[in-house]
């Protein structure tokens, strides 16, 4: 007798947790992703700032599937779903399912501003982190031999848009890379010549945090020498400058965007109701109203609790992944499916070495204690002993010696700074 097939589209945090629970459950589990690895996205910014090797935050999915009975992985680009025919459409074929878990995550949203999309860096994929690291190192190479002061200033100015956890963590890591490492690698460049500017449309950084933690984060960021512009929006960019809504123009060759996210493009082709940011409207149990065999989780799903949509974060996706796995097994047993209830365990963000903010279990932390909690939790959620060991060793080496070892320019051609470099 053939086993019923559960297809998991997308192997981020939601898909991974669903697969873990469904493994060895008596169902056939097929994991589908365009990459052959699970990516630990929260540490992408450390790859971009030369703190970690890219391999240390990724884990091969086939290594997971071989440990689980009736589970397999298929690498492929997902283009859509035939809901009526129960088929997942891939670029190279179709895949039938009895149950489908849509967990394709999110993409960066530039709010329809094409010029920003063309010239900004973001951090969603492993190759983007490597490209950004290459770019940062390239502009320092270029600046070290640039005699024109205006060009040199633009090369050494970094604009970061978005004051959420990603923006704050990237800004802090970039500043430490410049202060402790690149200032020594490039003695021709004075530290005072470098400039990091954070631009945030809201009135504070880390808006999800309590006020006293937001104030701490702002003071800490500014004390590191990072400029912070609040209640300011970026309206355009051209690769050599960034224009703000107040008329200010910042000459820069580096624009990093972390100001918005939207659901995967696949959501728009499902033919089901969508909410803001292209998120799929789901029932309280995370199923589609007219297709109860289809579950949508993570950043793709617009699931409401207490009247508000749940945030597009990894903890939400993880809990939803476990919930839908339990729901599918309940359906197979003939039991009722329960609505999803998110248990908020808190949020955290690191600002730099020995500094972080955290809210968990009704308590707030800042400074070194929050940083220690951040380190332990990120190590815990990494997959694979080797990855945990590599990351721990890199962190320990940096903590004691202030050195980033992954200062490699692996592609000097296909970069936003490459045209400037090759033209000199």
Write out the catalytic residue numbers: 169
Q: Which residues pair with 8 in a beta bridge?
A: 31, 101
Q: Are 287 and 295 in contact (CB under 8 A)?
A: yes
Q: Which residues pair with 250 in a beta bridge?
A: 242
Which residues, 6+ apart, have CB-to-CB distance to 127 below 8 Å?
Answer: none
Q: Alpha carbon 23 to chain centroid distance?
A: 26
Q: Are 90 and 75 in contact (CB under 8 A)?
A: no
Q: Are 101 and 15 in contact (CB under 8 A)?
A: yes
End-to-end C-alpha distance for the chain, whole angstroms: 68
Q: Are 87 and 94 in contact (CB under 8 A)?
A: yes
Nearest to 10 by CA among 19, 1, 2: 19
Between CA 252 and CA 242 the distance in angstroms is: 7
Q: Order across the sheet with 99-102: list the strands.
A: 71-75, 28-33, 5-9, 99-102, 291-296, 287-288
Q: Are 260 and 119 in contact (CB under 8 A)?
A: no
Helix (H, G, I), strand (E, B) or coil at 296: strand
Nearest to 200 by CA among 222, 233, 225: 233
Work out the widest C-alpha separation in the chain, in whole angstroms. 74
């Amino acid at each position: 007798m053939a086993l019923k097939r559960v297809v998991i589209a997308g192997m981020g945090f939601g898909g991974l947790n669903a697969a873990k629970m469904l493994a060895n459950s008596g169902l056939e589990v097929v994991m589908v992703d365009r990459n052959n690895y699970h990516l630990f996205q929260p540490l992408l910014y450390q790859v971009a700032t030369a703190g970690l090797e890219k391999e240390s935050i990724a884990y091969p999915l086939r290594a997971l599937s071989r440990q689980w009975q009736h589970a397999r992985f298929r690498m492929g680009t997902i283009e859509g779903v035939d809901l009526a025919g129960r088929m997942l459409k891939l670029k190279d074929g179709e895949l039938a399912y009895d149950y489908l878990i849509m967990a394709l995550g999110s993409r960066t949203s530039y709010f329809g501003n094409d010029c920003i999309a063309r010239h900004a860096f973001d951090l969603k994929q492993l190759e983007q982190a490597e490209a950004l690291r290459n770019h940062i190192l390239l502009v320092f190479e270029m600046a070290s031999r640039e005699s024109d002061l205006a060009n040199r200033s633009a090369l050494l100015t970094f604009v970061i848009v978005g004051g959420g956890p990603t923006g704050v963590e990237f800004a802090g890591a970039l500043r430490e890379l410049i202060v402790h490492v690149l200032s020594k690698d490039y003695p021709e460049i004075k530290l005072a010549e470098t400039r990091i500017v954070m631009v945030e449309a809201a009135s504070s950084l880390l808006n999800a945090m309590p006020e006293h933690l937001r104030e701490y984060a702002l003071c800490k960021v500014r004390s590191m020498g990072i400029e912070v512009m609040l209640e300011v929006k970026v309206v355009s960019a051209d690769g050599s400058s960034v224009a703000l809504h107040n008329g200010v123009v910042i000459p820069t060759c580096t624009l990093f965007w972390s100001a918005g996210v939207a659901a995967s493009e696949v959501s728009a082709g499902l033919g089901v109701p969508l909410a803001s940011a292209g998120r799929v409207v789901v029932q309280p149990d995370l199923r589609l109203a007219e297709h109860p065999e289809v579950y949508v989780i993570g950043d793709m799903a617009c699931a409401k609790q207490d009247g508000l949509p749940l945030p597009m974060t990894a903890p939400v996706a993880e809990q939803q992944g476990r919930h839908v796995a339990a729901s599918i097994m309940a359906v197979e047993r003939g039991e009722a499916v329960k609505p999803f209830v998110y248990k908020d365990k808190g949020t955290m963000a690191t600002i730099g070495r020995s500094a972080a903010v955290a809210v968990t279990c009704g308590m707030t932390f800042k400074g070194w204690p929050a940083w220690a909690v951040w380190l332990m939790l990120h190590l815990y959620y990494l997959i694979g002993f080797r990855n945990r060991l590599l990351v721990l060793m890199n962190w320990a080496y940096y903590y004691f010696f202030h050195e980033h070892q992954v200062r490699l320019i692996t592609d000097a051609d296909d970069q936003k700074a490459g045209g400037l470099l090759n033209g000199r």
